[in-house]
Amino acid sequence: MPDRHRTGMTAMPITLPAPFEKRIASITDEELAVRGQKRGDLRAYYERRVTLDEQKSPRLGAEAPDMTLELLSPEGKRTGEYKSLASFRGLPVGLVFGSFT
């Protein structure tokens, strides 16, 4: 998606979540200079992020995509045992994504 602030394109502004608006309002000129940005650049970044989230994020109530993941031992070690998400259909499931290294 072209950056409308750099290409001169005009677009309808989108409503940003309150934390993003607060960040845009509170960031100092010095912080922006360190990033090599202007306030409009930061707004454009957040607008792109929100737009992509709206387009690509799963919707509440939507079926989760099937995936196969390795089970970990109670100590967090790899077990070599794999389960597919579909095998838990109809049961509550909690997934924790992160780095355990």
pLDDT in tens, 58-100: 888 888 888 998 988 999 899 999 999 999 988 998 877 776 6
Residue whose C-alpha is closest to residue 43's, from 87, 97, 6: 6
* pLDDT score at 3: 46
pTM score, whole prediction: 0.53
Beta bridge partners of 85: none
Domain boundaries, the chain: 4-56
* Nearest by Cα to 4 from 35, 48, 38: 48
Distance CA 17, CA 21 (A): 7
CA distance 67 to 84: 6
Whether residue 79 contacts residue 71, with contact meaning beta carbons closer than 8 Å, is answered with yes
